[in-house]
Copies of this chain bind each other. A is one copy, B any other.
């Protein structure tokens, strides 16, 4: 089944009837925070959001990157269990923050047959990743730029490869605050995954202010500067120190540990405080 020379040939030989008429998959947006160490010894390492992608070695979209995902085992598992299973397979992580994002169901979103995909967002702390993942998987740093005219440019960078795509946000008919997304530029990502990614990033951005989800991406001990950087990178804007500290004051607790050796004043390490 993997010997075809082109996507066209593959599709010509693909028989939808050998499967059920309708299938479901899950796609998982595995998000984490990465550090980019700076040349200047004084500067702190720069935080970025990063996302886990997998290189496809099967048709369709052979050779393109995509979100980790897979088919639902109809007899045995729920969609969330399916996502957990795939997450475990790719990252060897379990007990992870996992949240249903959206169900994508355009009729032609998968060229093989009708596939409806329910996407999930997983937030992980990279430091807990002991065994490395799947050979074909890789972490990409995310850069998101919101232009005028409701165009969003996203760049993903894993150090070797740059993936860029652009999404257009169009106001839904007779609304003032709801958009649908359409892909306006995309070369390297499979399926409708550009839209899934933007949806997930916006979900996290919205939730960061009224939930405690950030701490799923933080190590146990962190400085307030680090935490603030994560907020800034998710929200896409700078925050003022005193205001930030006021906001998160009751979510964290001081420990007696310090982070030193950074070329400037040491910082107290904090820990997430559950309510």
Chain A interface (Cβ within 8 Å of chain B)?
20-24, 72, 74-80, 95, 97, 99-100, 102-103, 105-107, 114, 116, 118, 173-178, 211-212, 274-275
Contact = CB atoms under 8 A, between A and B. Distances in A.
26 contacts: A20-B20, A20-B21, A20-B22, A21-B74, A22-B22, A22-B23, A22-B24, A22-B72, A24-B24, A24-B116, A78-B105, A78-B107, A79-B103, A79-B105, A80-B105, A95-B173, A95-B174, A97-B175, A99-B178, A100-B102, A105-B118, A116-B116, A175-B212, A176-B274, A177-B211, A177-B212
Contacts of A95: 173-174
A212 to B, nearest CB: 6
B24 A176 contact: no
Residue picked from A103, A211, A212, most chain B C-beta under 10 Å: A103
A103 B117 CA distance: 10
Contact of A116 (B21, B75, B79): B79
A118 to B, nearest CB: 5
Given A74-B21, A103-B79, A107-B78, A176 B212 contact: yes
A79 to B, nearest CB: 5
A212 B171 CA distance: 14
Contacts of A99: 178
Contacts of A72: 22
A174 B213 CA distance: 11
Contacts of A175: 97, 212
Interface pairs A-B: 10 shortest CB-CB? A103-B103, A20-B21, A22-B74, A20-B20, A79-B105, A74-B114, A103-B118, A177-B211, A176-B275, A78-B105
